[in-house]
Amino acid sequence: MSDSISKEDIERVKLLEIVSKKGLKTLTHEQLDRLVILVEKKDYSRNKKTQKSKMKLLAKINAVIYDLEERKKW
């Protein structure tokens, strides 16, 4: 296993720090889309609790994306 940290890992951590400090609604639609991709790529299957948290986070992100898209329609 490689000890180096990928650019995607760094990007994911930065976005998650923003979410942790300021909430999901502070991210742009593009940032939310990117975060979904980055979180989905990360494999947490060996840790059930972390995998469950990942799924909850993805559900919350998708809800915020849905809200943003609904607001654009009005």
How many domains does the chain divide into? Answer: 1
Instruction: Give residue 72's identity as a one-letter amino acid code.
Output: K
Q: What separation, in Å, do the N-terminal and C-terminal C-alpha atoms of the chain show?
A: 49
Is 2 inside any structural domain? Answer: no
- Each of the 74 residues of the chain gets a pLDDT tens digit; together they read 557 899 999 999 999 999 999 999 999 999 999 999 999 999 998 999 999 999 999 999 999 999 999 988 87
Please give the Cα distance from 67 to 25 (Å, whole number): 10
Other CB atoms closer than 10 Å to residue 15's CB: what's the count?
Answer: 19
Roughly what angle, to the nearest 10 degrees, separates helices 48-73 and 29-41? 160
| pLDDT score recorded for residue 2 | 56
Please give the Cα distance from 63 to 12 (Å, whole number): 19
Is 34 inside any structural domain? Answer: yes
Range of the domain at 36: 7-73
pTM confidence score: 0.87
